[in-house]
Amino acid sequence: PRLGLECAGTISAVGDGVEDLRVGDRVVAFVSGGFASHAIAPAFAVSRLPATVDLTAAASLPVAYLTAYYALVHLAGLKRDETVLIHGGAGAVGLAALALARHVGARVIATAGSEEKRALLGHLGADIVLNSRTLAFADDVAALTGGRGVDVVLNSLSGEAMIRSMDCLRPFGRFLELGKRDFYANTPLGLRPFRRNLSYFGIDIDQLIGEQQALAQRLFGDLLALLADGTLRPLPHRVLPGERIDEAFRLMQRSAHIGKIVVRPPPAPTEQAPACGRFPVDAGGLHLVVGGTSGFGLATAAWLVARGARRLVLASRSGTLAPEARPHVEALQAVGASIDIVRLDVTDAAAVRDLVESLAATGPLKGIVQAAMVLDDRRLADMDQAAIERVLQPKIDGAQAVAAAIEGHAIDYLLLYSSATTLLGNPGQFNYVAANGWLEGLAAGLQRRGVAALAVAWGGIADAGWLARHLSGNAGLRRRFSASLLAAREALDALDLACTADGALRLPTLAIARIDWATAWRDLATLHGDAFSGIVPAANGRADPESSIDLEALRSLSLDEAAERVLDIVLREIAHVLRLPVREIERHRPLAEIGMDSLMMLELRTTVEEALQVELPLMSLANGITPADVARRIAGLLVTTETSGGVLRGPLASAAASHLAQDVEAVAEGDREAAARLVLDRVRRMESLL
On the question of pLDDT at 464 being above 80, the answer is yes
pLDDT tens column, 97-151: 999 999 999 999 999 988 888 998 999 899 999 998 888 999 999 999 999 999 9
| pLDDT confidence bin for 55, thresholds 50/70/90 | very low
pLDDT confidence of residue 665: 55
DSSP strand E in 333-464: where?
338-343, 365-370, 413-419, 453-458
Residue 63's pLDDT band (cuts 50, 70, 90): confident
Q: What is the pLDDT of residues 590-611, one digit of tens each?
A: 887 777 776 677 777 777 777 7
What per-residue confidence (pLDDT) applies to 148?
A: 93
pLDDT at 75: 95
Percent of the chain with pLDDT over 70: 74
What integer pLDDT is reported at residue 59 of this predicted model?
Answer: 35
Beta-strand (E) ranges in 530-640? none
Instruction: Please say whether the beta carbons of 337 and 312 come within 8 A.
Output: yes
Q: Which of the pair, 281 or 551, is modelled with greater confidence?
A: 281
8-state DSSP, 324: G
pLDDT for the residue 478: 55
pLDDT at 469: 78
Cα torsion through 116, 122, 128, 130, rounded to 10: -10
Residue 30: the pLDDT is 33
Q: What is the mean pLDDT of residues 558-575?
A: 85
Q: How far, in Å, CA of 126 to CA of 98, rounded?
A: 7
Q: How confident is the model at residue 367 (pLDDT cuts 50, 70, 90)?
A: very high
With helix as H, strand as E and coil as C, how does 33-78 read? HHHHHCCCHHHCCCCCCCCEEEEECCCCCHHHHHHHHHHHHHHCCC
Q: What is the CA radius of gyration of the chain?
A: 34
Q: Which residues of 17-43 are buried (b: 16+ CB within 10 A; e: fewer)?
A: bbbbbbbeeebbbbbbebbeebebbee
Tell me the residue ranges of DSSP E strands in 319-364.
Answer: 338-343
CA separation for the pair 191, 195 (Å, rounded) = 7
Which has the closest alpha carbon to 554: 569, 543, 541, 539?
569
Band of pLDDT at residue 249, cut at 50, 70 and 90? confident
Q: What angle do CA 324, 362, 317 make, to 5 degrees?
A: 35
Position 485, amino acid: L
Flag the least confident range among 41-45, 109-113, 399-403: 41-45
Phi, psi of 414, deg, nearest 5? -130, 110
Highest mean pLDDT among 26-35, 389-398, 551-560: 389-398
Q: Determine which of 146-160, 262-276, 372-386, 632-646 has the lowest per-residue pLDDT on average.
A: 632-646
Q: What is the mean pLDDT of the chain?
A: 78
pLDDT at 341 over 70: yes
Instruction: State how far the alpha carbon of 464 is from the alpha carbons of 54, 299, 375, 460, 470, in Å.
Output: 60, 7, 16, 9, 10
What pLDDT sits at residue 569? 85
Quote the CA–CA distance of 457 and 461 in Å, as a whole number: 12
Q: Which residues contact 270 (CB under 8 A, 6 or more apart)?
A: none
Better pLDDT: 174 or 242: 174
> Residue 553 pLDDT > 60, yes or no?
yes
Helices (H) and strands (E) in the chain, counts: 30, 21
